[in-house]
Amino acid sequence: MLGKVISLISAIAVVYIAFVALVYFAQSRLVYFPTRAIVATPDKIGLLYEDVNLRTHGGR
């Protein structure tokens, strides 16, 4: 019984370590870099929307 528990814990640890390694090595591809270009609007799928412009303290 103890051998099965140790085997299960070992298997879970191996899967966890593999997942962490995968995320670590793929982290540069997981970062989202937004663009300023509008690719689609809600109007494309039939939804109503209104453009909104916000003024900030910096004026941008």
Task: Look up tokens 């191996």; give the residue.
Answer: 14
Give just the sign of the alpha carbon dihedral 30, 31, 36, 40: positive
Q: What is the pLDDT of residue 58?
A: 75
Name residues whose C-beta falls within 8 Å of residue 48's C-beta, 6 or more positions apart in sequence.
Answer: 42
Put simply, whether the predicted model's pTM sits higher than 0.95 gets the answer no
Q: Mean pLDDT of all residues in the chain?
A: 90
Give 36-45's long-range contacts (Cβ < 8 A, gap of 24+).
none
Q: What is the pLDDT of residue 18?
A: 98
Name residues whose C-beta falls within 8 Å of residue 49's C-beta, 6 or more positions apart in sequence.
Answer: 41, 42, 43
Higher pLDDT, 20 or 34: 20
